[in-house]
Amino acid sequence: MGNSGRDSPRLTRFALTLEFDGGPFMGLQRQAHGPSVQQAVEEAAKAVTGEKVTLHTCGRTDAGVHALAMRVHIDIAREIAPFRLMEALNAWLRPQPIAVLACEVKPDDWHARFSCIGRSYRYRIVNRRAPLTVDAGHAWQVKQPLDAAAMHRAAQVLVGNHDFTTFRSTNCQAQSPVKTLDRLEVTRDGEEITIIAEARSFLHHQVRSMVGCVVLVGLGRWSEAQLAAALAARDRQQLGLNAPPDGLYFTAAKYDGEGEN
């Protein structure tokens, strides 16, 4: 960012916090084969400012994955107050299920992706036989009884620094399959089971793949030892189950000098 020449306009970096329902989109990142959150926000920004902008994000989400607080940034030459930009973007984004929850000016060296030091996801499972109504498309329905306590115990096998090749999409573009998983917590509240995953960064499909295998433990189809063996195998063919995108939510991004957003 900044001036690329003497007559180049001064750009202001705006950090946005987005909430969106991933159901109608092919994912967060711009796609050639369908609508994306990135395309929608970039088109709204152009309508508001008259400028072609690029949306930089703190992470990626697949088709059907939701976000409660996805951190992104755009660079704009036009002088505009953060609140006015937020209001204008929200007006242009309607009726698409995308909302700008917050907007603030950041220094030139702040970057939504590269400055991010932690990411959090939540996965929702509704454990009941009756069909989903209000939660359809927003949670994974598992009809068979799940042992949430067994799921949590087994999940701790995955916490720490590991080679997560087994839990990595074959299309993952990360340079290394080694990641440090800081937290993988399973709790139950009535018929809803929540899984929280926290790390500095994740591999493509890592959270969904971990959730799928932990659910196999909850169903009694896998043991904790089998989950550990799948991890140790470092082989995608040993993955037991990849959870659907419906129940996955990006919930927070962490940056130095500020709380979770």
pTM for the full predicted model: 0.92
Q: 121-172: per-residue pLDDT in tens? A: 999 999 999 999 999 999 999 999 999 999 999 999 999 999 999 999 988 8
Fold of 117-255: Alpha-Beta Plaits (3.30.70)
Rounded to whole angstroms, the Cα distance separating 167 from 80 reads 44
| Domain ranges in the chain with CATH number 3.30.70.660 | 117-255
Q: 172-222: per-residue pLDDT in tens? A: 888 899 999 999 999 999 999 999 999 999 999 999 999 999 999 999 999
| Banded pLDDT at 31 (limits 50, 70, 90) | confident
State which amino acid sits at residue 68. L
Fold of 12-106: Alpha-Beta Plaits (3.30.70)
Report the phi/psi class of residue 27: left, alpha or beta, with left for phi > 0 and alpha for psi in -120 to 50: left
Catalytic residue among 62, 75, 147, 182: 62
| Domain ranges in the chain with CATH number 3.30.70.580 | 12-106
Cα separations in angstroms, 244 against 7, 91, 137, 159, 203: 50, 31, 10, 22, 16
62 is catalytic: yes
